[in-house]
């Protein structure tokens, strides 16, 4: 399915809008087409733009003979979250992460749970401004161990995400991409070369769902997952949001889990999360907890070592156990940690089997708090 690009923009950068100047930033991945249009090569959408048009994601636009990023250095807001909220269960558990996003998205999921940001056509959404250096400094000041590009997909603000990640790396802060993985090969390599961890949203395991419900394709997402596993050292986990009657059948879950174990191995954690009616999908009921437990069971029956339920109260389904001896390794109640059964090297304290992931000697102590912060003009 191809979706139309937007009508031409009224002005050139920097543009004044309600007294706020929005800078544009040059980008790398685009091609001039013989018919005079310029194609953005960041994602499979391949938006081919006339002067002044924006791509489907709304944040990349043609300006002159190139594609620019219109949201560089601007955010829809910053918040200190538990890393468990991304969700990442095996990456620095218990630590805090400085989370932020921009606006727009390169998919068009009818069930979007973040639509106020991802579907934003208003630059007013980008209320907070911060240079890459300012984001890294804030993460240090706030005691965060990592920064997360979340709320919307860093693929579409790749240049800003990469510069923030570089500034963070200089300060010893790690970077986390929360992404749908809908990205072309070259920008994929560029983005993940700067990331330390990722959570990839695998929305379903059939092309029809991606085409009809998200206006996208499954194959590029699977390519991203295989690239992360075999082409990088990035720690990554997978989230699968289950929607009643659309992507939650035993057969589909079984096929997905067989693919995950076969192509990615048994150590990639799976998070099965609950849908609630939102955006353009109000005709489906919320996901029952029993569906999440069923998906978790199917994952583990297929050999996935770490599978979790999300968006529901389920201490057993959200805690980590040693895949070898069954010992409780990390107890979780929502985003709060309880018992800790790992030794300082990240092995099971009972049988010494390594637990896959990135662990420190002790768990963090951030807890379940969520702390909105304002960085202000950089
Ligand atoms: S990143 Fe945006 S502009 Fe580029 S191809 Fe994808 S949707 Fe289109």
Select from 218, 204, 217 the least CA-distant residue to 251: 204
Tell the residue nearest (CA) to atom 4 of ligand 1.
Answer: 40
Which of 30, 67, 106 to probe ligand 1 with, by most ligand atoms within 8 A of CB?
A: 106
Kind plus residue range of the DSSP H or E element containing 48: strand 48-49
Q: Please work out, in degrees rounded to the nearest 5, the angle formed at the alpha carbon of residue 363 by the alpha carbons of 99 and 179.
A: 30
Kindly give, in sequence order, each residue whose CB lies less than 8 Å from that of residue 360, ignoring residues fewer than 6 positions away: 92
Tokens of 106: 């390169």
Q: What is the CA radius of gyration of the chain?
A: 20
Q: Give dist(CA 150, CA 81) in Å, integer.
A: 11
Q: Read off the pLDDT of residues 2-52 as tens digits, 9 standing for 90 and up.
A: 333 443 333 334 433 333 335 689 999 999 999 999 999 999 999 999 998
Which of 58, 60, 152 to probe ligand 1 with, by most ligand atoms within 8 A of CB?
A: 60
Distance from Cα 188 to the centre of ligand 1, integer Å: 13
Q: Please work out, in degrees rounded to the nearest 5, the angle formed at the alpha carbon of residue 251 by the alpha carbons of 250 and 255.
A: 115
- pLDDT (tens, 9 = 90+) of the chain, 378 residues, equals 333 344 333 333 443 333 333 568 999 999 999 999 999 999 999 999 999 899 999 999 999 999 999 999 988 889 999 999 999 999 999 999 999 988 889 998 888 876 665 555 555 556 678 899 999 999 999 999 999 999 889 999 999 999 999 999 999 999 999 999 999 999 999 999 999 999 999 999 999 999 999 999 999 999 999 999 999 999 999 999 999 999 999 999 999 999 999 999 999 999 999 998 877 777 888 999 999 999 999 999 999 999 999 988 899 999 999 999 999 999 999 999 999 999 999 999 999 999 999 999 999 999 999 999 988 644
Full-model pTM: 0.92
Distance from Cα 56 to the centre of ligand 1, integer Å: 6
């Amino acid at each position: 399915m191809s979706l139309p690009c937007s009508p031409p923009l009224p002005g050139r950068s920097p543009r004044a809008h309600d007294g706020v100047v929005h800078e544009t930033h040059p980008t790398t991945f685009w091609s001039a087409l013989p018919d005079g249009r310029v194609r953005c090569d960041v994602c499979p959408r391949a938006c081919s733009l006339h002067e002044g048009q924006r791509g489907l994601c709304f944040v990349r636009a043609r300006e002159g003979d190139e594609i620019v990023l219109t949201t560089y250095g601007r955010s829809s807001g910053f918040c200190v979250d538990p890393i468990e909220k991304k969700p990442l269960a095996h990456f620095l558990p218990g630590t805090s992460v400085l989370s932020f996003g921009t606006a727009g998205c390169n998919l068009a999921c009818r069930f979007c749970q973040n639509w106020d940001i991802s579907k934003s056509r208003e630059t007013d959404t980008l209320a907070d401004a911060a240079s890459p250096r300012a984001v890294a400094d804030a993460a240090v000041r706030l005691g965060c161990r990592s920064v997360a590009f979340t709320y919307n997909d860093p693929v579409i603000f790749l240049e800003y995400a990469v510069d923030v990640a570089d500034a963070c790396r200089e300060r010893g802060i790690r970077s986390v991409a929360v992404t749908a993985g809908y990205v072309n090969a070259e920008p994929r390599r560029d983005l993940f070369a700067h990331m330390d961890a990722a959570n990839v949203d695998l929305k379903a395991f059939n092309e029809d769902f991606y085409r009809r419900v998200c206006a996208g394709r499954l194959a590029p997402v699977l390519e991203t997952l295989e690239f992360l596993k075999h082409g990088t050292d990035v720690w990554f986990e997978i989230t699968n949001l289950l929607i009643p009657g659309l992507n939650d059948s035993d057969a589909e879950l079984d096929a997905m889990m067989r693919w995950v174990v076969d192509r990615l191995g048994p150590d990639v954690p799976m998070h099965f999360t609950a849908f609630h009616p939102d955006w353009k999908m109000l005709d489906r009921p919320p996901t029952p907890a029993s569906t999440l437990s069923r998906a978790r069971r199917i994952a583990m029956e297929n050999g996935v070592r770490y599978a979790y339920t999300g968006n529901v109260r389920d201490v057993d389904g959200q805690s980590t156990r040693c895949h070898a001896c069954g010992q409780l390794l990390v107890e979780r109640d929502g985003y709060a940690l309880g018992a800790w059964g790992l030794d300082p090297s990240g092995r099971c304290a009972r049988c010494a089997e390594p637990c896959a992931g990135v662990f420190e000697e002790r768990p963090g102590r951030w807890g379940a708090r969520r702390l909105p912060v304002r960085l202000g003009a950089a």
